[in-house]
Structure 1
Amino acid sequence: MSRNLPIKDLIFAALLIFVPISLLAEGLHWGALTVFITACLAVLPLAAWMGTATEEIAIVVGPSLGGLLNATFGNATELIIALVALKAGAVNVVKASLAGSIIGNLLLVLGFSMFLGGLRYKEQEFQPTVARINASTMNLAVIAILMPTAVNYTSTGVDEPIMQRLSLVVAAVLIGVYLLTLFFSMKTHSYLYDVGVEAEQGGGFTEAGEKPNLWLWVGVLLMVTLLVAIESELLVGALEEATQQLGLTKLFTGVILLPIIGNAAEHATAVVVAMKDKMDLSVSVALGSSLQIALFVAPVLVIAGWFFDQPMDLNFNPFEFVAVSVAVLIANSVSSDGRSNWLEGTLLLATYVVIGAAFFFHPAI
């Protein structure tokens, strides 16, 4: 392995400077906008280090436990930000960020991966069986979002406690399906998911063949998790005033900005491996992250809302539901044949730009 760090790792290392800067901005009262921007920039490298620490620990504990660890912590940064926002009562922002994460992974990440990979290689291939399974599971997620939304908009007098109880039932079903997908991918049909994984394990921070220091990386993971929680508090605390100063609605911030910040490291990984002609791994990262948001993160937030006494449910804004449905539809259509090229990537990116523009001009709710 080369001693030189990849460019993306150098960028994330440089961005660590914003961790102390954001803390100073809050302590010295430099203004909400400064706090918001520096906290956003600070979260980027912390998310990258959280992902790296998880991967290094996964190497030591073995494939089964390691797979479970990766599946659990894959969207930990976004989950922490959402939990902090939920506790602060920003329920609509949390819902928007969930919808935005699914949209971003399916259109922005997969689109860039197919586009940039397709510029280097005329046509790339990935496991079509896995793509079809992911497509079916994402269809279930759309149905799960549709039901509470449909109940609310086809009935009168549905109060929040009833909607929350319905959402809790749906959340329990989704978590059950998520556990079954883990069992499917790590046990009964693990051979479908093994392509290219070993080649990318290690995160680029250890020499090939060298066993990572387990306790070092556990310490890194705990420290980074704490810092992400602190930065999330700063980010959420400055969110309302900062977005007003930037002229952005909370809807646009939740759907577009927050998902990009929380998933930047994972996004970079998917694009980089696609440019190395490892589309199996790239598609797995993009689609797997969307599934984790829909089947694990969203249900956990519904349950957390019940504990926090916040009205968190799966009754999404109809416009958010339409956007998620469109993203799932075109992503399933493009990935169903197990082949990709630069034009298909362009189609996904164009759809993301159109949806992003619609959310930008959508009036604040």
Structure 2
Amino acid sequence: MLNKNNLFLLLLIFIPVSLGAKFMHWEDLIIFITAGLAILPLAAWMGTATEEIAVVVGPSLGGLLNATFGNATELIIAIIALRAGLVNVVKASITGSIISNLLLVMGLSMFLGGLRYKEQTFQPVAARMNSAAMNLAVIAILVPTAVDATSVGIGEQTLQNLSLAVAIILILVYALTLFFSMKTHSYLYDVGVAGSEELESETEHKPNLWLWFGVLLACTLLVALESELLVDSLESATSQLKLTALFTGVIIVPIIGNAAEHATAVTVAIKDKMDLSLSVAVGSSMQIALFVAPVLVIAGYFFHQPMDLDFNPFELVAVAVSVLIANTISSDGKSNWLEGILLLATYAVLGFAFYFHPIIDGIG
């Protein structure tokens, strides 16, 4: 844990470096890389600040705070990209966030945890509820895509209106899942909460509420600033790297936005706290699908950007495949290292597919 903290402290140096690179008009590729590296520790500190505040305000409000700020970094990056008109990159980042959490993070957690423990267990009932919620996410992006594919001459505004209606339904469902997990059926999630409290008790302290509020605010503002640098340099940098915007949105952006959260999920899995690990990985995917994506659709409406839930068919296939294999593996409430390998192999196959996918819809 100390090594991870030291690494994040070291990466803070890239905040002034990225700002200096922008001020001195260095190459966009350098700005892109340094801004991405600067976001990593800021995302970690945002997560730490949220957890520390949650300790003070209690489990109910703390759970809501975690649910709200869980993917704040990605949401900030996506909103700035949306304002810049990079709608296809935003859609790709939504796809990438879902598949990276379900395949890369869950796969690494099960694999590394499975190397230390022959078999790890977690709450199957909670896993099934999460599976059902992810199935809804697939339906939510399948329907607008299917309507577009099966209609002749359907207007962009019509698709956006349909997506807005679906977005409102998803946000309502997300609110109900929070109510379910924190109130009416909180006992199903007690193991994950207990694991979280045990981690907190390893370093006994009384958090300073206002200090951590200040840290959260400062990190949020800095993430917004670094995201501006990242988005402004994205197209030029990806062109220099010979990467399509599709690959960048699906693979690179989610890793930058979620690196700290990914590290937490893997770390607790190695400590045999698979319930907590899956709550981080699957919970993050749920939040992206049921909260972040709908918020971006609504934001697109106000920004006058054509953000809707009509995804590229290949992105839809990737999400559906990821949800299918993740649900299949997690349905029995047990995991081992081989199941982790299966998830990682699926992620690798999809990653290569996105890398070799030709430029589409004017992105790349």
- TM-score category, normalised to shorter length: over 0.9
Would you say 1:297 and 2:281 are equivalent positions? no
1:228 to 213, 223, 226: 223
Name the SS for the 1:337 alignment partner: coil
Deviation for aligned residue 1:191 = 1.1
Cα deviations across residues 76-101 of structure 1 (Å, max 9, x unaligned)?
Answer: 00000000000000000000000000
Query: What is the number of residues matched between the two proteins?
Result: 360
Secondary structure at 2:308 match in 1: coil
Rate the CA distance shift 1:241–1:279 in 2: closer, same or farther, 3 A.
same
Q: CA deviation at 1:203?
A: 7.6
2:52/2:207 contact within 8 Å kept: yes
Judge conservation of contact 2:192–2:275 (CA < 8 Å) in 1. Answer: yes
| 1:121-179 superposed Cα distances (whole Å, 9 cap, x missing partner) | 00000000000000011001100100000000011111111000000000000000000
User: 82, 85, 89: which one pairs with 2:85?
Assistant: 89
Residue 143 of structure 1: aligned partner: 139
Which whole-Å CA distance do the structure 2 matches of 1:179 and 1:249 have between them?
A: 35
| Residue equivalent to 1:129 | 125
The reply to whether residue 116 of structure 1 matches residue 108 of structure 2 is: no
Rounded Cα–Cα distance in structure 1 between residues aligned with 2:199 and 2:301: 36
Could you list the structure 1 runs, at least 4 aligned residues long, displaced by more than 2 angstroms after superposition. 196-204, 206-210
- Give the counterpart of 2:275 among 256, 280, 304: 280
Cα deviation digits, residues 10-62 of structure 1 (max 9, x gap):
21111111011000010001110000000000000000000000110111111
Deviation at 1:6, TM superposition (A): 2.5
Equivalence for 1:193: 189
Amino acid at match of 1:68: L
What is the deviation of 1:208? 3.7
SS class of match (1:193): helix
Distance 1:264 1:243 in 2: 20
After superposition, the CA RMSD in angstroms is 1.2
Give the Cα separation in 2 of the matches to 1:275 and 1:319.
34
CA offsets 1:234-278 (integer angstroms, 9 cap, x no match): 000000000000010000000000001000000000000000000
Unaligned runs of 5+ in 1: none
Q: TM-score normalized by structure 2?
A: 0.97
1:238 corresponds in structure 2 to 233
Q: Which amino acid letter does the alignment assign opposite residue 148 of structure 1?
A: P
What is the aligned partner in structure 2 of residue 80 from structure 1?
Answer: 76
Give yes or no for contact 2:195–2:273 (8 Å, CA) kept in 1. Answer: no
Contact 1:59 1:202 in 2 (8 A): no
Distance 2:345 2:32 in 1: 28
CA distance in 1, matches of 2:28, 2:215: 29
1:151 is paired with a residue whose SS is helix
Aligned to 2:160: 164
